[in-house]
Amino acid sequence: MSEPLRLIDTHAHLALGQFDADREAAIVRASEAGVARIVEIGYDLPSSHAAIALATAHPQIFAVVGIQPNHVHELPAGWEAELRALCAHPKVVAVGEIGLDYHWMQGPPAAQEQLFRAQLALAQALALPVVIHSREAHADALRVLGDAARGQPGIMHSFSGDWAYAEACLELGLMLSFSGPLTFPKAVELHEVARRAPLERLLTETDSPYLSPHPQRGQRNEPARVRLVAERLAALREQPLETVAAQVWANAERIFGLKP
């Protein structure tokens, strides 16, 4: 007898308006698909409060709180004290998502870096892992992490990049979290990373409502679809889904400090 499959979506934004019509139904669909845990991610202070509210209402949901670089231009006064207070909630398992985004460029790189470093330091002080967002900013993300967060437990969320970048992230001690793009037939660089990286360093996520996997690309995404990411990961590694899912589950427990 094998244990039932347990999947985890380590990065979702269920609090967004895209789920206003069917949030609770989406959470039920995830459970029915074997997605036994969901990590809800904040990107500013209101969404961090919302993540905690969702986590409080659902035993299988955990919260990550932080300010994403696309909100660097609207930092409220006293944000750091408020974020620190949110981190004390028992269902908060990491600081995030934090990092650099040179695609939307909502603030100058120096301001983004300052916000990123402040939150890395906060996480370090509180002994929490970090969830990192890096978009079109890989070189600077590696530089900041290399001198401010070497060995600090962290996750490169929705990993995108080639094997050289993956190796650099692994060398820093980070975990790599795959999302929908892993399932895209033409994502050959990601496929190589999925084959070569140690399974003990990999996670699965949806980034719902974004990045819906193949063959539902372009639709609103939801946590149930993390199964498609896990299946693709298993197929690429030529390992049974059960093996991959069990290791990813254990990896998430380890980095987030979840109780079995």
d(CA 57, CA 161): 36
Task: Answer whether 217's CB lies under 8 Å from 210's CB.
Answer: no
> What is the contact surface with Ni ion in residues (CB under 5 A)?
207
Q: Least separation, in Å, of the C-beta of 3 and Ni ion?
A: 30
Q: What SS3 string covers 147-196?
A: HHCCCCCEEECCCCCCHHHHHHHHHCCCEEEECHHHHCCCCHHHHHHHHH
In the complex, the smallest distance separating the C-beta of residue 44 from Ni ion, rounded to whole angstroms, is 12
Contact call for residues 64 and 51 (beta carbons, < 8 A): yes
In the complex with Ni ion, which residue's Cβ is closer, 11 or 227?
Answer: 11
**Nearest CB to Ni ion, comparing residues 207 and 222:** 207
Q: Six-digit token pair at 146?
A: 């290399």
The residue among 129 and 234 lying less far from Ni ion, judged by its C-beta, is 129
- For the bound state, the minimum distance from the C-beta of residue 12 to Ni ion, rounded and expressed in Å, comes to 8
Instruction: Give the residue closest to Ni ion by C-beta.
Output: 207
Backbone angles phi, psi at 203, to 5 degrees: -135, 165
Minimum Å gap between C-beta 17 and Ni ion is 15
